[in-house]
Amino acid sequence: MALKAHGATITPSVAEIALQFVKLVAAAVLGIFLIFAMLYYLRRHVAVVDRGSFVALPRPGYATASSAGVDLAAAVTSEIALAPGERGAAVVAGWGFAMHAGL
């Protein structure tokens, strides 16, 4: 494979191509390692806790097959209505996250 730069043809050697390939593979392996290390850390230090509630809540789930995320049920006993643009209603979903002391 020849590269042209400023009118000159540059042909990388096999060693240069191999070095670039090794760098690419090393970066990919490092990225995968970092992802697994982060998942391992989160699994050991963050626990999802079902705090329960006064009402029986369904488990989070997809509303449709094309949903981008899961829906959480609200732990409310009466209807909450917000006007367009209104803020300030705290809606409890019955879930919490516990983190180990020292984090």
SS3 state of residue 4: strand
What is the enclosing helix (H) or strand (E) of 30? helix 14-45
pTM of the predicted model over 0.85: no
**By CB neighbour count within 10 A (0-12 exposed, 13-18 middle, 19+ buried), where does 92 fall?**
middle
**By CB neighbour count within 10 A (0-12 exposed, 13-18 middle, 19+ buried), where does 82 fall?**
exposed
Per-residue model confidence as pLDDT tens for the chain (103 residues): 566 666 677 778 888 889 999 999 999 999 999 999 988 887 777 666 555 544 567 778 888 889 888 888 887 778 888 888 888 777 777 666 666 666 5
